[in-house]
């Protein structure tokens, strides 16, 4: 099943990508060369270079931070907000089809 994610960069650039169920938002961004997501640790939740902001309309569907996310987000290069998540910890599932993800100004 193919689903859509819309990435919105800090400068307003919109990048739509398609992903299959079960893939992380971080992996979808990296595989599609989305500027603004580095994913330095490959999704093992060891860095904060996949920091993102979940669009307000999608926060309930995405759900709360996973255990340990807030500790890593404390090391994020950009402002941490209530909508901040590590995109490696958000796995795509049918109810997230069309999710909108905003990217911070910097990951490093």
pLDDT in tens, 14-53: 999 999 999 999 999 999 999 999 999 999 999 999 999 9
Q: Contact, 51 vs 73, CB < 8 A?
A: yes
- Average pLDDT over the chain, rounded to whole? 96
Once rounded to an integer, what is the mean pLDDT over residues 86-92? 97
- CATH architecture group of domain 2-102: Roll (3.10)
| Per-position DSSP letters for 45-86, written without gaps between them | SS--TTEEEE-GGGHHHH-SPPTTHHHHHTT-SS---TTEEE
- The domain limits of the chain are 2-102
Whether the model clears a pTM of 0.85, i.e. scores above it, the answer is yes
pLDDT grade, residue 66 (50/70/90)?
A: confident
Percent of the chain topping pLDDT 70:
100
């Amino acid at each position: 099943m193919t689903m859509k994610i819309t990435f919105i960069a800090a400068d307003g650039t919109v990048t739509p990508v398609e992903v299959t169920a079960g893939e992380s938002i971080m992996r979808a961004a990296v595989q599609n060369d989305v500027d603004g997501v580095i994913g330095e640790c490959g999704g093992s939740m060891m860095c904060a270079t996949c920091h993102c902001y979940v669009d307000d309309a999608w926060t309930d569907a995405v759900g709360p931070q996973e255990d340990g996310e807030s500790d890593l987000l404390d090391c994020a290069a950009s402002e941490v907000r209530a909508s901040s998540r590590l995109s490696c910890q958000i796995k795509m599932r049918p109810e997230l089809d069309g999710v909108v993800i905003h990217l911070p100004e910097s990951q490093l």
